[in-house]
Amino acid sequence: MRLDALPSSVADTGFDEDRGVSQVSGETGFKVVRNEFGHVSIWPAGRAQAPGWHDHGFSGTRERCLEHIAELGDVRNER
């Protein structure tokens, strides 16, 4: 299972991943997102959706979102 990062063109968001907080807005929630290729990742819940990524239907803390992704297994064929 791959936990792909968002493309660098959308990853430079001022988000401190170590602390799980946006340096710009102070947001702390995350959501699980998925792209057209079936890759899943996490995204700050209060931010505009990155182009090509869509809500997967789960939100929570950074740690809980990563746990959820691990529980999903390989979801790339579930289109």
79 within a domain of the structure (yes/no): no
For residue range 10-44, what is the model confidence (pLDDT) as tens digits?
Answer: 444 445 555 555 444 455 699 999 999 999 999 99
pLDDT of residue 55: 93
Which range marks the domain in which residue 27 is found? Answer: 8-72
pLDDT band at 73 (very low <50, low <70, confident <90, very high): confident
CATH number where 60 lies:
3.90.820.10
The count of structural domains within the chain is: 1
Among 11-20, 54-63, 70-79, where is mean pLDDT lowest?
11-20
| Long-range pairs of 15-22 with CB within 8 A, sequence gap ≥ 24 | 15/44, 17/62, 20/61, 20/62, 22/46, 22/47
pLDDT of residue 47: 92
pTM of the model: 0.60
